[in-house]
Structure 1
Amino acid sequence: MGNDSITIRNTFLPSDLELVALLHGKVYGEEHGFPESFETEVRRGLQIFNQNYDPDKDQVWVVEKGSQLVGFILLFHREKNQAQLRYFILDKSCRGTGIGKRLMEEWMSFFREKKYDSAYLYTTSGLDAAVSLYEKHGFVKVSEETTMNFGFPLLEILFRLDKG
């Protein structure tokens, strides 16, 4: 195995910001036809996360295959004791391996450990495997609308999770 072994780390390195944005640009561009502006918006959002990072409230899960970043998810603290799930992505080579399920389980564990009251996430159409994972973990679709938040028309679907 050696170079091909999969690891998950919880440390956000300065280089991760660019690598996660590039992975989003590649995956969403190749698989969903998103324009290059999407990568720029992801980079901007990650910069905001990095500037507001609180190790007592926030967490990242960085998936690496050898030395290559191949997956990512983060939990970002928000107002009113809410958590936001953002930037969940896996390279095609890692899908169907159980890594996505593991990331969601670890995300949920951190969410419970930090005693958040609720969580939310935005996704878009065509991401059926991710939506299935969200729903299996208690997220419920509450709304959808076409926005220009990423610089192009995009159907944004809001999911919420209550502590229950």
Structure 2
Amino acid sequence: MEIETAYRPGLIAEILQLHMDYYAPVWGLGSTFEAYQARNLGDFLAQYDANRDLIATVRHEGRLAASMVVDLTEPDAGQLRWFIINDALRGRGLGRTLMEQACAHLDGSGVVRAWLSTYRGLDAALHLYGRFGFVRLSEEPDPWGSDLRYQVWERVRPTAG
């Protein structure tokens, strides 16, 4: 499997579909969540700079099967966004590979801290975030009205030495 690191036409729809294929049936998230993600994807891509940000995707059997974005539009902190892997590719080390690439991009960018938002219950992802130096900062009720617990995690760039 090859990781692509560039924008391609239709990417908003593909990343959104990948998320809804998982979050709707598994977690019961619906139109409000989908609209929020669509707006955020659109806002990000409207400001996307290939020399600053990172879009990493993987295709499997012709369809988008994994995505991860490093959003560096804010000068003081990076954001890890839209990290998801299709069920067919889970357990193959792809998450680790994407996280390695994301953290290398963050560290090379000069930002000192990065953050992400996620949910309690996404155990494999939470474990991976911890392995790469992210720590949970907060947990609160899900803004979409589900029983999920919304979490914010942060990583401070490791210092040489």
Superposition TM-score, scaled by structure 2 size = 0.91
1:20-35 residue pairs with structure 2 within 5 A?
Answer: 20-35=15-30
Partner of 2:112: 117
Are residues 1:74 and 2:69 paired? yes
Distance of 1:129 and 1:9 partners within structure 2: 23
* Stretch of structure 1 that moved more, 135-144 or 39-48: 39-48
CA deviation after TM superposition for structure 1 residue 58, in Å: 0.6
Whether 2:94 is the aligned partner of 1:99: answer yes
Identity %: 29
Whether 1:127 and 2:89 are equivalent positions in the alignment is no
Q: Say if 2:13 is the partner of 1:7.
A: no
Distance 1:39 1:10 in 2: 24
SS in 2 for 1:121: strand
Unaligned runs of 5+ in 1: 1-5
Contact 2:68 2:83 in 1 (8 A): yes
Structure 1 residue 161: Cα displacement = 0.6
Q: Distance in 1 between matches of 2:23 and 2:14?
A: 14
Indicate if the aligned counterparts of 2:15 and 2:67 stay in contact, CA closer than 8 A: yes
Which has the larger displacement, 154-163 or 122-131? 154-163
Question: What corresponds to 1:3 in structure 2?
Answer: none
Displaced runs of 4 or more, over 6 A = none
Q: 1:147 deviation in Å?
A: 4.4
Larger mean CA deviation between 36-45 and 102-111 belongs to 36-45
**What does residue 151 of structure 2 align with?**
157
Partners of 2:45 and 2:31 in 1: CA distance: 22
CA distance in 2, matches of 1:66, 1:108: 27
Report the CA distance between 1:113 and its aligned residue: 1.3
Aligned residues: 157
Moved more, 59-68 or 95-104: 59-68
SS at match of 1:14: coil
- Please report how far the alpha carbon of residue 78 of structure 1 lies from its aligned counterpart in structure 2 after TM superposition: 4.2
1:138 paired to 2:140: no
Residue of 43, 52, 55 corresponding to 1:48? 43
- Structure 1 CA distance for aligned equivalents of residues 29 and 50 of structure 2: 32
Structure 2 unmatched ranges of 5 or more = none
d(CA) in 2 for partners of 1:57, 1:82: 12
Q: In the aligned structure 1, how far is the partner of 2:58 from the partner of 2:111?
A: 24
State whether residues 7 and 65 of structure 1, in contact with CA within 8 Å, keep that contact through their aligned partners in structure 2. no
User: Secondary structure of the residue that 1:126 maps to in structure 2?
Assistant: coil
Q: For residues 145 and 72 of structure 2, what CA distance do their matches in structure 1 show? A: 27
> Are 2:135 and 2:155, in contact at CA under 8 Å, matched by a contact in 1?
yes
